[in-house]
Chains A and B, each alone.
Chain A
Amino acid sequence: MPAGIALRGLLVECSLLLLLFSQFSLYFPPITYASSELDSEIGNLVEHAGELHSKGLNVSAVTEKLNSAIVKYEENSTEEARRLIAEARGLIENMSTIADRVYFTNMARKALVVAALASIPVLVYTLLPRAYLYLWYRSRRKWLVSRW
């Protein structure tokens, strides 16, 4: 009789433990899976941010959001982390719409600077003698010329 009670108690304990473990596993998925999912999402966003960076856009706001998302994830605030990742994705999408325009503006600005720099020797060659001559005569405009 005591053996039967003990067996029954053991069964109840085992079922309780099983129930507890199943609840635990439902709420806490394997860390490796969640971590690799996070890595994949952040990795993709960083790659897109890299494309925008190569076109001359400032992506520091995106990296800040992603770092905040990593911190929240490490604090087990996965919902907050997902919200921050979504915000970073939104920023990237917004930046993508103006990326080409920024790129061409930057290229045009660079081309103008190069053209201006390349024209310096030409301007020196053509304008310097004239400018010097002009200043030379201007500085002597009140001079009187007389025969010795």
Chain B
Amino acid sequence: MYRGGDFVLLDEEVFAVVLAVSIIASALGIALVLRPGNPEPFTAIGLLNEECKIGEYPRVARNTSSLRLCVYVANYLNRPGYFKVVYKIATRETLPTDTTPSPESALREWRLVLGDGEDEAFPVNVTVYSLRGETRVALVFELWLYSSSSREWIYTGRWVHLYINITV
């Protein structure tokens, strides 16, 4: 290519574009290598039906009968965690919040250890009964995390619930 009296083989503009692309690719690659594992660590809990699938949850149950469900727990804390799922029966007034667990007493607990990025769904059999004469109760599953520094279970603020109509 002849330009302005100089014979230039590689066009300067093309060369600048190739150089810019290589700089962007390099910066992107370095950012990917040096990025932290998970900038926003979190935990998750989910409720599945007896086949460990979403949907087709039971709506009605006999008083003091047993229900089969599936609980899903996931750990994305960037470290392994020791978890427990606490089962409670609550009413609309005693549901947990994102900061406080339900004041109702724990009926069952399941403990498990999950590595970073691991999740697990496990079947559970829970007893269902009318609470203080209420015919509509909430089956509550709270997720707790063990703190080895304070040697106690800490409520993660994650919970799921399923409303059930109780029949005699």
- Determine if A90 is an interface residue (Cβ-Cβ < 8 Å): no
Interface of B is mostly: mixed
- Determine if A121 is an interface residue (Cβ-Cβ < 8 Å): yes
- Determine if A120 is an interface residue (Cβ-Cβ < 8 Å): yes
Stretch from A12-20, A36-44, A95-103 forming part of the interface with B: A36-44
Q: How many residues of A contact B (CB 8 A)?
A: 33
Inter-chain contact B25/A120, CB cutoff 8 Å: yes
Q: How far is the CA of A70 from the CA of B110 in the complex (A)?
A: 9
The residue among A42, A43, A125 with the most chain B CB atoms within 10 A of its own CB is A43
Q: Which partner residue on chain B sits nearest A68 by CB separation?
A: B113
27 A–B pairs (Cβ distance < 8 Å), ordered by A: A39-B146, A42-B113, A43-B82, A43-B146, A43-B148, A43-B151, A46-B81, A46-B146, A47-B148, A49-B80, A49-B115, A50-B80, A53-B79, A54-B78, A62-B80, A63-B113, A114-B33, A114-B34, A117-B33, A118-B26, A118-B30, A120-B26, A121-B26, A128-B18, A129-B15, A132-B9, A132-B10
B residues at A contact (CB < 8 Å) = 9-10, 15, 18-19, 22-23, 25-26, 29-30, 33-34, 78-82, 111-116, 118, 146-149, 151, 153
Given A50-B80, A67-B113, A128-B18; 5 other pairs, CB 8 A cutoff: A46-B80, A63-B115, A124-B22, A128-B19, A129-B10
